[in-house]
Amino acid sequence: MKARVTIMLKDGVLDPQGEAVRHALGGLGFAGVNGVRQGKVIELDLAATEKAGAEAEVARMCESLLANTVIEKYSVEIL
Amino acid sequence: MKARVTIMLKDGVLDPQGEAVRHALGGLGFAGVNGVRQGKVIELDLAATEKAGAEAEVARMCESLLANTVIEKYSVEIL
């Protein structure tokens, strides 16, 4: 079973990486980009076969390792 | 209009960052994680209002700046 975790900075947390991308896009002539936020995506290949259990397990992984929940939010998607 | 770009290393390209996450998860006692791949997600806030045009524009951004198409694949999603 595959799971995808998307981790983004919380709204209101400054994202210098996204800001740099926005600035670079403007420099390349792409107009009309009002904002950019950059985050991480982690794809996990799990041995688990039970969807609800896998989702809870991945949420525990996020809380303990994958995301910094002080400044980041995460979402788990079972594929 | 919002667009989300997901950028992952192509299959077959070594992903040391993902491998490090897999190893760390094992060390924390999470069994049954067979593989981990880590990528980037970029959320763009666009002034464009026309979906097909926005999608093509974001694909051009990926080709010219956001993704290294030699080793990375990307997918564009208009939200």
Nearest to A67 by CA among A55, A56, A59: A59
Mean pLDDT, chain B, integer: 96
Query: Using CB atoms within 10 A of its CB, is residue A17 exposed (0-12), middle (13-18) or buried (19+)?
Result: middle
Tell me, what's the pLDDT at A5? 97
CB pairs < 8 Å spanning A and B = 92
Share of chain A above pLDDT 70, in %: 100
- Other CB atoms within a 10 A radius of the CB of residue B43 amount to 19
Pairing relation of β-strands A72-78 and A2-9? Answer: antiparallel
In whole angstroms, what is the distance from residue B53 CA to residue B59 CA? 10
- Chain A residue with CA closest to B24: the answer is A65
| Residue that is written with structure tokens 């806030």 in the block | B45
What is the DSSP track for A37-78? EEEEEEEEEES---HHHHHHHHHHHIIIII--TTTEEEEEEE
Cβ atoms within 10 Å, residue B27: 9
pLDDT tier at A50, thresholds 50, 70, 90: very high
pLDDT for B16 equals 96
pLDDT of residue A61: 97
Amino acid A46: pLDDT: 96
The candidate with the shortest Cα–Cα distance to A65, out of B38, B25, B30, is B25
> Which residue from B6, B35, B65 is facing A45, i.e. has the nearest CB?
B35
ipTM of the complex as predicted: 0.91
> Between A21, A61, A66, which is nearest B42 by CB?
A21
Residue-level pLDDT at B68: 97
Domains of chain B and CATH, by start: 2-78 (3.30.1280.10)
